[in-house]
Amino acid sequence: MSPLALQQQALLAALFDTSVDGAMKNIAACAIHTSARGLKAYQANGHALAERALQAAYPVLTRLLGDESMGQLARAYWHAHPPVCGDVAQWGADLASFLADSPQLRGTPYLPYMARLEWLLHVGASARDAQADAGTWALLATENPDALWLRLAPGTAALRSAWPVVSMHAAHGDNGPAFEDVGRMLQAGVEEDAVVWRQGFRPVVRVALAGEWAGLSALLRGCSLGQALDAAPELDVSVWLPLAVQSGLLLAARSGAGGEPSLV
């Protein structure tokens, strides 16, 4: 590796070093001229980029924590989980696990669940476009569910949650529940599984029906409709199917001897 390449590699590593003094020692052997001031500027720019990226991906989490605390979180996460690709908008997938492992946040155990929900919405925003095939709906009434596979909307995901994360998320938007009501739900230990999918050109979320988390999880693994219903005995299919079609969660059905994943 050339001296220039070694210097560039050392500089990149130094940008994620929590100690500027330590970072300077790491690159001193590769750099002809060193400047702590320059390195601090690079690190400051990296921290600012981290804050903007996480605030864009996690707007509700930012409101729950506050701008200052979210900034501190972004900087800590930047050093613990530096970006591995050039698109910083794709950075932040492990934030929920990072929150769950934080001793300082043990008093707010719902924050990792909110982070998981917001990341699903963030990913769903960039999911591919897709159109429903209404001509396949007749299969839902005529085919054996064990030989029927469903195509779900792009960005579809099912989140199991021990907290009322959907109501918490909605409270920070238009026409959502009052914060006081959500607070009472938190105190009562209300659990809300979430369903996320791309509806048209935007990601949406709603509270999962009873058994829907298990059913969707099976469909996303490539199971047939019959197998999904076996995995979700609580799911009322007479309620779920019309809702899934009308809301754009379900795009098409396919009959056949072999299955295919209902990937989104």
Kindly report, residue by residue over 149-190, the tens digit of the pLDDT: 999 999 999 999 999 999 999 999 988 999 999 999 999 999
Instruction: Please report the pLDDT score of residue 161 as a whole number.
Output: 97
Answer yes or no: do 89 and 174 share one domain.
Answer: no
Answer yes or no: do 144 and 77 share one domain.
Answer: no
Answer yes or no: do 32 and 153 share one domain.
Answer: no
Which residue ranges in the chain fall short of pLDDT 50? 4, 6-8, 10-12, 15, 20-35, 38-39, 41-42, 257-264
Answer yes or no: do 176 and 237 share one domain.
Answer: yes
Answer yes or no: do 159 and 60 share one domain.
Answer: no
* Structural domain count of the chain: 2
Answer yes or no: do 68 and 141 share one domain.
Answer: no
195 Cβ contact partners less than 8 Å away, ≥ 6 residues apart: 156, 157, 158, 159, 205, 206, 207, 208, 212, 213, 216, 249
Answer yes or no: do 145 and 240 share one domain.
Answer: yes
Instruction: Please report the pLDDT score of residue 263 as a whole number.
Output: 45
Residue 47 CB: number of other CB atoms within 10 A? 17
- Rounded distance between C-alpha atoms, residue 20 and residue 24, angstroms: 6
What does the pLDDT look like over 6-31, one tens digit per residue?
444 544 455 455 554 444 344 344 44
Q: Which residues pair with 199 in a beta bridge?
A: 202
Domain that holds residue 196: 125-255
Instruction: Please report the pLDDT score of residue 256 as a whole number.
Output: 78
